[in-house]
Structure 1
């Protein structure tokens, strides 16, 4: 399996044809209805939690051998519905039918036994295990853990064109390869119904195209896919049917060829599809963050030290957004961690507003004005089992309104959490509920609200709108633009290339720990930028020059 490589699509073996199926749609027209029973049929699904009704009387019919998209804004109830279908939660009301037979799932094991597999937005892989070990973990009864399991994994991989390397550690894989491992996990367990939750959130355009080609091939062989996404253009390009969920219930079922992204956005959130494009320039001549000759080494599994950051240099000025483009795993995360103080660099300097912070502790950097929207909100942005008001304090314990002197001010922290919930439209029954009870997009809005509330000098935004709906996207973009007009410097890292191009004043391409090319956001296309990210530079790109200092100049 090659990182970021395209999916190969050999014909499926006869023994697996027709074995993977799922679709969703509410009452497709009679002339399109297949003679066979639907792969999945949900009727009257209702699920209540304290203070909120997550799903209300939802009805979806999933036609066999199709890709069915499920769209809706954050908190609309999509994830809850899929957890019900996957046996992670039980509905309070309603029925589930698989292949025409009514079923009741007490656990994901029951769903898996009926051929339902789910690939979660946040991958469920153990980094310290190999690909083979991750795939057979929990499914040892199928083929054991030895030669028979290896043979079965390779057979399924070959049949579905997933091209895995079974002995590679997961921590050494790029995000596209990890996704293929997750898909292989569910196929190995005999999935006939495949649920993909935001499968393209972290893929570059070429990887998205490869994934969609693979899905179309599998669909042609009888596979059915339930596809959850916020990217409406992608939904319209790959889906056969689309179901729209709003405020916990189904509001429309549409055919892709008969609708537009604008119409779909209006069905979802009642507004037009937002654009990240920033027309006016607010870049000043005042440097806010300067990185010079930054070098960081890490030890690989074989005990060999290698450079993960190699001579990185750039400057971000007040009022400037510097975008870093790159396939995940090329040093972006390590760059963020070095600037935040989570990793101590081997060499080079980091200067914030004229002060050397190269080896300063993270707390000092936060107090000096660095805001941080982390790449992984679950691992680095939230305490999932803590209430929202405690999460509002996180990372800003020593700052107002969270503290007065040496003491925490819990009353003020609670009041400010209420403000953030209102201003950032965080959908929640209250600030005492845990962060884990919120949808992913609402978790993200809470984090962005928390960081912007401290009026940072520099905002490090890693995938700031990952997993949020079009309405929340627009709000986050507006907040960044407004703060930029007031002098905020932003380091933006995103897998959404439209977002990266639209928001950035300056673009740099990162590849294997180096800044290798400069791109003009005014002329670059997502396809050209995606090619550069995989090491194949194309039009509207310039190689980064040594010692460049303006607008994020890279030290090659």
Structure 2
């Protein structure tokens, strides 16, 4: 600790307290009539992990985008380590020691890890010296923070968890002392998430300051020292994490009590609606992604598929949804065979009564430059009620339909003419969920239904899925969130390496057993998945 002399008193006093790593004063930001941030003030202690929670559209990402220089505040001041800074762009943020890991990674997939880390931080005209320096620095960072990644690996061939490590390495290579992570575990497996939080604790121990934006309250409770709550663009409260609870935080976020458990009565399954027999899928590289998959799904039940990402669940949804051909096997809906050849498509599946909430809303669920009303009609635009004169679509009917969906599903902001990319991730998800559930399908395929969604919207989406089940529809649920699988499902099957390991009832199993099955370490005596 530094000691300063007090010459007048003839004694030494301790230096002034360490200034906070971040201090925001009166930050405001509007986008047209929408006030995203309203007079926000926040202090983050140096060397701490600080959580920020709030509903989708509460202004969390906007606030952090201001701190990182993507947006310029309309009013307010930013102080870093006690010094007022003018963050005009991301270069200014990096110069101030701020790094950000975005929800959707900013990586060039055909490049190597080393090339991605160096890109934008080259020193001089020649690239070779920069790469050599980066290689040595990456080795040091990997040892110091448990960030092992092969520097020569192609980023597009890495798992999502390793791609996230590359993003963190990029920030540390640029000498970031403050690291912002926006929904960092939204696409991670449980094991990858656990490793990420070990990395964050190591960073904290080395004096780094971390801001964690997440909807997962368990992560806030486990990882953070303090937490700030935002609601409708305002900072309502900042408290030590040790003084709160998940239920208390949920209520502070939403402004009402929130059910953290899914409220549902026991299922009353009816006839078999979906039957899958001997389904096999081999990809273009000759790798078998699905291996003799067999299961049935009945009306009025939710069948959950648990598994670590990359073990065949995505390929199963793609085949069922009409995005991928099968190598062999049969799929029947209400007894009728479904075309599994390459000529099949999602439209053909919808005509057979199959709805689909895809795992990746950006790639499969929406057209981001389209307006909300266009996305709420996407795939269903040829319905009779949307047909106008002379073979044209009735846009007025589509807009009115969108307004009803926006109201029923509490999509914010309630503007059917807003471009999809201007909605928060959770509200984008609600647009997709509204479109598919309101279509009233016989079978609903649900992939990662609450990825990047806040606690209030999670409660709402879960209830809509249960309501559809109670209306006699068949739901196939894929999620990497084990608690979501256990709380929503009436039956659970577990996949590993393209094979169904077995089936369990939610009340007869736990996370440990399911985790072992997900790792291929424990099998059902009746493995093969027939039900």
Shared fold (TM-score greater than 0.5)? yes
Matches within 5 A, 1:535-554: 535-537=520-522, 542-546=524-528, 548-550=529-531
Q: Does 1:178 find its partner at 2:146?
A: no
Aligned in 2, Cα 1:544/1:102: closer, same or farther, shift over 3 Å? farther
Q: Does 1:267 find its partner at 2:248?
A: no
Deviation at 1:442, TM superposition (A): 0.9
Three-state SS of the structure 1 residue aligned to 2:441 is coil
Deviation at 1:201, TM superposition (A): 2.1
Contact 1:206-1:530 at 8 Å conserved across structures? no
After TM superposition, the structure 1 stretch with the greater mean CA deviation from structure 2, 494-503 or 509-518, is 509-518
Q: Does 1:352 find its partner at 2:333?
A: yes
After TM superposition, the structure 1 stretch with the greater mean CA deviation from structure 2, 249-258 or 152-161, is 152-161
Aligned in 2, Cα 1:430/1:169: closer, same or farther, shift over 3 Å? same
Contact 1:205-1:527 at 8 Å conserved across structures? no
Aligned residue in 1 for 2:456: 471
Contact 1:38-1:62 at 8 Å conserved across structures? yes
Matches within 5 A, 1:176-215: 176-215=161-200
- For 1:173 and 1:272, locate their aligned partners in 2 and report how far apart those are by CA, in whole Å: 41
Three-state SS of the structure 2 residue aligned to 1:408 is coil
Q: 1:508 aligns with which of 493, 515, 528?
A: 493
- For 1:529 and 1:108, locate their aligned partners in 2 and report how far apart those are by CA, in whole Å: 43
How high is the TM-score relative to the length of structure 1? Answer: 0.87
Deviation at 1:526, TM superposition (A): 2.9
Aligned in 2, Cα 1:527/1:47: closer, same or farther, shift over 3 Å? farther
Aligned residue in 1 for 2:21: 39
Q: Does 1:131 find its partner at 2:126?
A: no
Residues 485-537 of structure 1 deviation map (CA, whole Å, 9 limit, x = unaligned) = 11111111112211111101111122222222323311332344334323343
- For 2:516 and 2:34, locate their aligned partners in 1 and report how far apart those are by CA, in whole Å: 45
Aligned residue in 2 for 1:399: 383
Aligned residue in 2 for 1:337: 318
Deviation at 1:35, TM superposition (A): 1.4
Three-state SS of the structure 1 residue aligned to 2:269 is coil
Aligned in 2, Cα 1:286/1:219: closer, same or farther, shift over 3 Å? same
Q: Does 1:377 find its partner at 2:358?
A: no
Contact 1:48-1:55 at 8 Å conserved across structures? yes
Three-state SS of the structure 2 residue aligned to 1:299 is coil
Runs of 4+ in 1 over 4 A off after TM superposition: 142-145
Gaps of 5+ in 2: 1-14
Three-state SS of the structure 1 residue aligned to 2:507 is coil
Deviation at 1:424, TM superposition (A): 0.4
After TM superposition, the structure 1 stretch with the greater mean CA deviation from structure 2, 93-102 or 406-415, is 406-415
Residues 172-205 of structure 1 deviation map (CA, whole Å, 9 limit, x = unaligned) = 3322222222212211222111011111223343
Gaps of 5+ in 1: 1-32, 551-556
- For 1:275 and 1:483, locate their aligned partners in 2 and report how far apart those are by CA, in whole Å: 20
Q: 1:72 aligns with which of 51, 54, 67?
A: 54
How high is the TM-score relative to the length of structure 2? Answer: 0.91
Aligned in 2, Cα 1:48/1:411: closer, same or farther, shift over 3 Å? same
Matches within 5 A, 1:208-223: 208-223=193-208
- For 2:265 and 2:27, locate their aligned partners in 1 and report how far apart those are by CA, in whole Å: 47
Aligned in 2, Cα 1:199/1:34: closer, same or farther, shift over 3 Å? farther
Deviation at 1:400, TM superposition (A): 4.4
Contact 1:201-1:496 at 8 Å conserved across structures? no
RMSD of the alignment, in Å? 2.1
Three-state SS of the structure 2 residue aligned to 1:150 is helix
- For 1:528 and 1:272, locate their aligned partners in 2 and report how far apart those are by CA, in whole Å: 32
Aligned residue in 2 for 1:481: 466
Residues 352-404 of structure 1 deviation map (CA, whole Å, 9 limit, x = unaligned) = 22221123332111122221111111222122222111111212122244336
- For 1:134 and 1:489, locate their aligned partners in 2 and report how far apart those are by CA, in whole Å: 44
- For 2:512 and 2:60, locate their aligned partners in 1 and report how far apart those are by CA, in whole Å: 30
Matches within 5 A, 1:4-83: 35-83=17-65
Matches within 5 A, 1:112-191: 112-141=94-123, 144=128, 146-191=131-176
Residues 331-362 of structure 1 deviation map (CA, whole Å, 9 limit, x = unaligned) = 22111111111111111112122221123332
Deviation at 1:544, TM superposition (A): 4.9
Q: 2:424 aligns with which of 414, 439, 450?
A: 439
Aligned in 2, Cα 1:475/1:536: closer, same or farther, shift over 3 Å? same
Aligned in 2, Cα 1:370/1:138: closer, same or farther, shift over 3 Å? farther
Aligned residue in 2 for 1:408: 393
Aligned residue in 2 for 1:90: 72
After TM superposition, the structure 1 stretch with the greater mean CA deviation from structure 2, 88-97 or 194-203, is 194-203
